[in-house]
Amino acid sequence: MSLSDDGLRLVAELNEPFGQLRDIFTGACDEGGPLRGTLRLTAPVAFSRQQLVPAIRAVFASASQLHLQLEVTDRLVSLASEGFDLAIRHCRREALPDTHVAWPLCHTATLTVASADYIRRHGRPETPEDLRHHQCLTYPRGPQRPQWTFASRQSPDARVTINVQGPFATNNSESLRDAVLAGLGVALLPDFSARGGHWRGLVQELLPAWQPVEVFADRLYVIRPYTPRVSRAVETFSRYLKATFSEPRPAPAPSVSLKRGSRWRSPGSSCARVTVLSAQ
């Protein structure tokens, strides 16, 4: 059974007024007491697994009735139609929807890396041109031959583009990271993947005088659908994301008290109540 065209139009017309009623009701119930209910968040796969989930534990120290449902996917989901409260996106500013509220979370950078084992066996490239003679692990962007472009850090207008080749390509930065760890070759990775603490020291950054460009976006953004009323859970979790990931990043990540007027406090012992839905 499915709706007719008239039924679909009626649903579309009623979606906004019913959403406003829901916001008013939620706001009236949200003025006091502990945070409760479900907060739905979507975030990129690599950032979620390597940065977000390890830092999330502190959120629940004083929110025993809050449940966070995290959908881990690199797909750009529709927040309003799929019922998400917040999204973290690794994208360029122009890719953000105009109908949503967005703010920058932090800068990111693309690094050129290889494992220490690979460097021992194949040597260290000293210039971008040296990569022509190395095994390069690529992130495919289409059927065209893979190319890497580098800008000089001393003179950003000076750019070099080279054709690269290698034994492995994948459209997932975590899989590229694992291939680097296996010693398969040189790769370009976002810094939140390349600097993961559990394998720090096993890989080395290459070509420090050259910045890869046009590979991954240079910012993470937090976005939410526009609504005249923002729930206390969304407001508080947004503050936590800013405090944890905005520059300068605190280390270790702070815990946040989820009561109005409270101050940051040290991490507690509560375990996070997080539902993770992975599209991988």
pTM of the model: 0.71
Query: Tens of pLDDT along 76-97?
Result: 888 888 999 999 999 888 878 8
Asked if pLDDT for residue 25 goes beyond 70, the answer is: no
Boundaries of every domain in the chain: 10-107+218-278, 110-213
Average pLDDT rounded to a whole number, residues 193-204: 74
Q: Residues 237-261: pLDDT tens digits? A: 999 999 998 865 433 333 333 333 3
Q: Give me the residue label for tokens 């109005």.
A: 260
Nearest to 274 by CA among 55, 56, 82: 56
In this structure, which topology does domain 110-213 adopt according to CATH? D-Maltodextrin-Binding Protein; domain 2 (3.40.190)
Fold match between domain 10-107+218-278 and domain 110-213: yes
For position 9, what pLDDT does the model report? 57
Please report, rounded to a whole number, the percentage of residues in the chain having pLDDT higher than 90.
47
User: Which is more confidently placed, 195 or 157?
Assistant: 157
What is the C-alpha separation between 27 and 46, in angstroms, rounded? 34
pLDDT of amino acid 115: 95
| Whole-number pLDDT of residue 246 | 82
User: Would you tell me how many other CB atoms lie within 10 Å of the CB of residue 231?
Assistant: 19
Q: What is the pLDDT, as a whole number, of residue 22? A: 47
The CATH number of the structural domain formed by 10-107+218-278 is 3.40.190.10
To the nearest whole percent, how much of the chain has pLDDT over 70? 74
Name the token pair of 45. 């796969």
Beta-carbon contacts of residue 177 (< 8 Å; ≥ 6 apart):
46, 187, 189, 193, 194, 196, 199
Specify which of 6-10, 49-53, 253-257 reaches the highest per-range mean pLDDT. 49-53
CA angle 113, 118, 119 (to 5 degrees): 75
Q: In whole numbers, what is the pLDDT of the chain averaged over residues?
A: 79
Q: Which residue has the higher pLDDT, 198 or 78?
A: 78
Can you name the residues that pair with 149 across neighbouring β-strands?
161, 213
Task: Say which residue, 144 or 205, is predicted with more confidence.
Answer: 205
Range of lowest pLDDT (84-88, 170-174, 226-230): 226-230
